[in-house]
């Protein structure tokens, strides 16, 4: 290797580190997306979730295992989805509270600088779609030489409509012919329709997709210059934080002065003079509303997009999603959205879907649990779902992941009958521990200490039938929990 080759190899990293922002909890796509099961974890086509698709499109020879940033209470769900998608996360940074993208990215960059110095970060929101992944990868390859020269590169999506819900990036029209990567002239806020139309006509404006490529150390330099408070806070958060398996908890309440939520666009991009943009056509959308889902779907001859057991009679311009075994039939409607999933139904005029968040807020105020929760409750060891209930009994389907172990516990007011329907359970009842195989059952009387674990290599599915006079989740006395919890099932 010549000196010159060595120097180029040092400048160009071996691979790119995907840094996936997975902290959102938007309600604009309720009821498919809920506070406890946000949009990025949902599937919009019956296949992998948006997060899983995001991970998948940043894998392959060009990429290292991903770093993710998410909320504490989503950690197992995020980890499980990434692993179920076939990837092993490098690290999952757990935010104790959401502070928007600038603090989150500052912590991620600091973690990389401390633990994996010299890496290039590809910042990806976890809840977007990109139809043309080769175009995306080609844009990344075009950006890399600029990144090696210290640029902060953003990806500018060539607008296909005068969308008023996105920010825009302006460039000097002359510069567009100079090469694939162009210096940014200006970041522009979400425009009015008039302005958006002018932007699209000009050819010099691109949608700001929130996707960035830069060296972690370059970003830290910029944030230290333009938002020194955040930089100091992030440095303290990472140096004072602690690992917990694949998880990393920053010391968020650290010695640096407290900081306010702020986006990376405001804090860094609009101020930095190192920012360049790669214009790209890649079939991108942020799936920001049901209308967006409708417009990206295949339509029948009347402009309807139908999913699941949906029948649209004399209906036009509508999106109808029937989840699970639910049937949805529409009659004599125009431009509506009907989404029926997991115990909740939204019926909205299509031009009003931007207000779905307000509807969810109003539902929440009525105390309706369907506002925030789906029927599947996620736990560190797996999940459960109540499938039937009455005054004196309740049935649940319990799924325990391979290696998962529930806490040692007892209930005062209910007995439990367990039937293993798939996989193998390791059951402890009182002093006795035994294996329970498919099509075998056992009984745990009220007041008996018991524990359930999956010692096998495949998920354990178990049907639990609870009998008793009080069936609340809070009738639990916990003795020992491998996940360090005191109050969860």
What gap in Å lies between CA 377 and CA 73, rounded to an integer?
12
Is residue 448 within the footprint of a copy of itself (CB under 8 A)?
no
Is residue 103 within the footprint of a copy of itself (CB under 8 A)?
no
| Under 8 Å between Cβ of 36 and 52 | no
Is residue 177 within the footprint of a copy of itself (CB under 8 A)?
no
CB of 288 to a copy of itself, least distance (A): 16
**CA–CA–CA angle 105, 107, 485 (5° rounding):** 115
Stretch that binds a copy of itself, among 4-12, 88-96, 258-266, 435-443 (CB under 8 A): 435-443
- Identify which of residues 67 and 344 has a Cβ nearer to a copy of itself in the complex: 344
Q: Which of residues 281-340 bind a copy of itself (CB under 8 A)?
A: 309, 311, 313-314, 322, 325-333, 336, 338, 340
Q: Which of 45, 14, 16 is nearest to 32 (CA)?
A: 45
Q: Which residues contact 408 (CB under 8 A, 6 or more apart)?
A: 428, 449, 450, 451, 478, 479, 480, 481
What gap in Å lies between CA 137 and CA 55, rounded to an integer?
13
- Identify which of residues 154 and 394 has a Cβ nearer to a copy of itself in the complex: 394
Per-residue x/- track, 16-35, a copy of itself (CB under 8 A): ---------------x----
Burial class (CB in 10 A: 0-12, 13-18, 19+), 20: buried
Name the β-bridge partners of 152.
Answer: 275
Residue 452, token pair as written in the block:
């359930």
Q: Which of 406, 411, 408, 412 is nearest to 425 (CA)?
A: 406
Q: Applying CB under 8 A, which of residues 143, 346, 410, 429 lies at the interface with a copy of itself? A: 346
CB of 489 to a copy of itself, least distance (A): 18
Q: Applying CB under 8 A, which of residues 395, 428, 448, 488 lies at the interface with a copy of itself? A: 395
Is residue 388 within the footprint of a copy of itself (CB under 8 A)?
yes
Q: Applying CB under 8 A, which of residues 438, 458, 470, 477 lies at the interface with a copy of itself? A: 438
Is residue 349 within the footprint of a copy of itself (CB under 8 A)?
yes
Q: Which residues contact 88 (CB under 8 A, 6 or more apart)?
A: 65, 82
Q: Applying CB under 8 A, which of residues 4, 439, 484, 486 lies at the interface with a copy of itself? A: 439
Q: Applying CB under 8 A, which of residues 3, 46, 366, 487 lies at the interface with a copy of itself? A: 366
Is residue 368 within the footprint of a copy of itself (CB under 8 A)?
yes
**CA–CA–CA angle 296, 132, 26 (5° rounding):** 50
Separation of CA 487 from chain center: 25
- Identify which of residues 148 and 345 has a Cβ nearer to a copy of itself in the complex: 345
Is residue 441 within the footprint of a copy of itself (CB under 8 A)?
yes
Rg of the chain over all Cα atoms, to the nearest angstrom: 25
CB of 333 to a copy of itself, least distance (A): 6
Stretch that binds a copy of itself, among 40-48, 122-130, 211-219, 342-350 (CB under 8 A): 342-350
What gap in Å lies between CA 282 and CA 477, rounded to an integer?
53
CB of 388 to a copy of itself, least distance (A): 4
What gap in Å lies between CA 228 and CA 256, rounded to an integer?
11
- Identify which of residues 244 and 314 has a Cβ nearer to a copy of itself in the complex: 314
Q: Which residues contact 287 (CB under 8 A, 6 or more apart)?
A: 29, 39, 44, 50, 127, 128, 129, 293, 296
Is residue 238 within the footprint of a copy of itself (CB under 8 A)?
no
Is residue 351 within the footprint of a copy of itself (CB under 8 A)?
yes
| Under 8 Å between Cβ of 266 and 226 | no
| Under 8 Å between Cβ of 59 and 37 | no
**Contact residues for a copy of itself, defined by CB under 8 A:** 31, 309, 311, 313-314, 322, 325-333, 336, 338, 340, 343-349, 351-353, 355-356, 358-360, 362-363, 366, 368, 370-371, 385, 387-388, 390, 392-393, 395, 397, 415, 417, 419, 421-422, 438-439, 441, 443, 461, 463, 465, 467
């Amino acid at each position: 290797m010549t000196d010159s080759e060595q120097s180029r190899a040092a400048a160009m990293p071996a691979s790119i580190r995907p840094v996936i922002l997975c902290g959102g909890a938007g309600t604009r796509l309720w009821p498919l997306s809920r506070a406890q099961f946000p949009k990025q974890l949902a599937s919009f086509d019956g296949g992998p979730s948006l997060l899983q698709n995001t991970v998948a499109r940043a894998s392959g020879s060009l990429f290292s295992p991903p770093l993710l940033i998410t909320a504490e209470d989503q950690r197992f769900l995020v980890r499980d989805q990434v692993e179920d998608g076939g990837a092993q996360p490098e690290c999952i940074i757990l935010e104790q509270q959401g502070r928007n993208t600038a603090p989150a990215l500052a912590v991620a960059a600091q973690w990389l600088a401390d633990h994996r110095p010299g890496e290039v970060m590809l910042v990806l929101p976890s809840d977007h779609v990109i139809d043309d992944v080769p175009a995306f990868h080609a844009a990344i390859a075009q950006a890399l030489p600029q990144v090696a020269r210290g640029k902060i590169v953003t990806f500018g999506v060539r607008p296909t409509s005068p969308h008023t819900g996105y920010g825009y990036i302006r460039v000097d029209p002359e510069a567009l012919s100079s090469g694939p990567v162009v210096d940014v002239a200006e970041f522009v806020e979400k425009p009015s329709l008039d302005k958006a139309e002018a932007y699209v006509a000009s050819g010099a404006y691109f949608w700001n997709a929130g996707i960035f490529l830069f060296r972690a150390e370059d970003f830290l330099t910029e944030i230290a210059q333009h938002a020194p408070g955040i930089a100091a806070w992030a440095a303290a958060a990472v140096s004072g934080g602690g690992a917990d398996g694949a998880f990393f908890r920053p010391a968020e309440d650290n010695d640096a002065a407290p900081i306010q939520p702020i986006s990376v666009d405001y804090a860094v991009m609009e101020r930095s003079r190192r920012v360049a943009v790669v214009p790209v056509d890649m079939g991108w959308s942020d799936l920001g509303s049901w209308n967006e889902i409708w417009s990206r779907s295949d339509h029948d001859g009347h402009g309807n997009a139908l999913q699941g057991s949906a029948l649209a009679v004399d209906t036009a311009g509508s999106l109808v999603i029937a989840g699970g075994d639910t049937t949805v039939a529409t009659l004599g409607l125009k431009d509506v959205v009907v989404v029926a999933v997991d115990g909740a139904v939204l019926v909205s005029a299509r031009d009003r879907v931007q207000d779905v968040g307000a509807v969810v807020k109003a539902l929440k105020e009525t105390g309706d649990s369907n506002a925030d929760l789906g029927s599947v409750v996620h736990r560190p060891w797996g999940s459960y779902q109540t499938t039937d209930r009455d005054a004196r009994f309740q049935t649940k389907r319990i799924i325990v992941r391979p290696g998962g172990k529930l806490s040692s516990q007892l209930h005062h007011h209910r007995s439990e009958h367990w039937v293993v329907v798939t996989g193998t359970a390791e059951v402890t009842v009182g002093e006795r521990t035994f294996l329970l195989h498919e099509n075998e059952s056992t009984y745990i009387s009220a007041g008996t200490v018991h524990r359930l674990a999956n010692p096998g290599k495949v998920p354990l599915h178990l049907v639990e039938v609870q009998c008793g006079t009080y069936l609340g989740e809070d009738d639990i006395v916990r003795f020992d929990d491998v996940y360090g919890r005191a109050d969860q099932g």
